[in-house]
A = this chain, B = another copy of it.
Amino acid sequence: MAPAFWFSASADTAGFTLSMLLVFGSAKLLGEVFERLKQPAIVGEIIAGVLIGPPVLGWIAPNAVLTALSELGVMFLLFRVGLEVKSSELMKVGGVALLVAMLGVMVPFIAGAGIMLAFHTGLIESVFVGAAMVATSVGITAQVLSAKGLMQHPASRIIIAAAVIDDVLGLIVLAVVSSLAEGQVNLAKLATTAVAALAFTWVVARFGTPAMRRIVPTVEARLQAGETQFNIALLLLFGLALLAIYVGVAAIIGAFLAGMALAESTTERVHDLVQGVSELLLPFFLVGIGMHMDLGPFREASTLGLAALIVVAAVASKLIGCGLGALSMGRANALRVGAGMVPRGEVGMVVAQIGMGLGVIPAGVYGVVVFMAVATTLIAPPLLALSYRNVRPAGAVEGFRLG
């Protein structure tokens, strides 16, 4: 009866509320099932998306609203993780993290492109698949480590720092292969992109914390409205996410940097309020990843073999590449760092999507890349749990020693 209109008791609101219930409920249900199977809840939440979404039951499909909620969800996840990380401690591990990120870009790229070339695929298509295997989806790892109270572990810090650098490097790789695909390599433009991304990330990571330590108390003292710290935090979050997009890195990197900048100048109350938003929205991010799963490889024997090979290469190349980079911290930590960099999640999907948009990746290969992106995301949490199994949760405890 009622026409489509906002916050009316119309079919729109009913559909929207139903999808909230469906996404949130199925995520929590499958999360609980996986907890009982001694598996990370996060894997259950992603599988909930595979089940209720287009791959299996088709009860719900991605739309503008769910997409927005999932984007907000991963932004708030990284923001919350940032709030737990001191920039000084991240800067300290910068050298090792840079090595981890660089090897973690090179090895997967060579592995991915190499496999495709071995299958007699064209050069451009092959390097695009390689590029899709580069980017790490840090949100998944961050959530696993944060949920287990392991964010303060040295290996965890390396993972976070390396993932940030990895995003910048991934941006550069993507820019290079995209311009190759378009047939015109503009070196000046590539250099500008790279410098802007690096400069933004470094400046915010380096000067964000001292700046906020001055700005937050000053602003707070002058404003009269309630929950001032939380409001400042949200404005910085949205502002830096937007700036990050403009310089070319992912919005979540901006969100993470915003959190880190505020880590030393906000109260526990701000953490709790952010946690509320994060708890509500995270399932939309995880279910969203699952909903985009492509089960196409299972329908054709030819792509199934390729998909299996690509997934194995995707896991092994990060374990080896990133592990080598972190070997100076000992074997156990090298394994942790490698496992933490395995998930490709939404970032891998985006690269595949761009490749398809440029017409260099055919639908079959697109399906394989998306399958790889989701599969690595499902494999990583148990791998991480395994690699950290001897570590006691530290929570906020300082001076944590590894076992």
Contacts and interface: CB of A to CB of B under 8 A. Distances in A.
Interface of A: 1-3, 5-9, 12-14, 16-18, 20-21, 24-25, 28, 31-32, 35-36, 41, 62-65, 67-72, 74, 147, 171, 178, 223-227, 230-231, 234-235, 238-239, 241-242, 244-246, 248-252, 269, 272-277, 279-280, 285, 288, 346, 349-350, 353-354, 357
Contacts of A64: 63-65
Contacts of A25: 235, 238
Number of copies: 2
Contacts of A2: 350, 353-354, 357
Nearest to A356: B3
A78 to B, nearest CB: 11
B272 A7 contact: no
A349 B350 CA distance: 40
A251 B31 contact: no
29 contacts: A2-B354, A5-B350, A7-B67, A7-B71, A7-B285, A9-B171, A9-B251, A12-B67, A17-B238, A17-B241, A17-B242, A21-B242, A24-B234, A24-B238, A28-B231, A35-B225, A36-B224, A41-B225, A64-B64, A65-B68, A68-B68, A230-B279, A231-B279, A269-B272, A272-B272, A273-B275, A273-B279, A274-B276, A277-B277
Contacts of A71: 6-7, 13, 16
Given A272-B273, A277-B277, 18 more contacts: A5-B349, A8-B346, A8-B354, A9-B250, A12-B67, A14-B242, A14-B245, A17-B241, A24-B231, A25-B235, A28-B235, A35-B224, A41-B225, A68-B69, A230-B276, A273-B275, A275-B276, A276-B277
B18 A242 contact: yes
A17 B70 CA distance: 12
Nearest to A231: B28
Given A21-B238, A223-B32, A242-B14, A7 B74 contact: yes
Contacts of A3: 353-354, 357
Contacts of A7: 67, 70-71, 74, 251-252, 285, 288, 346, 350
A349 B1 CA distance: 15
A205 B367 CA distance: 50
Contact of A276 (B178, B225, B239, B273): B273
Contact of A17 (B5, B223, B245): B245
Contact of A350 (B9, B35, B171, B272): B9
Nearest to A291: B6
A21 B224 contact: no
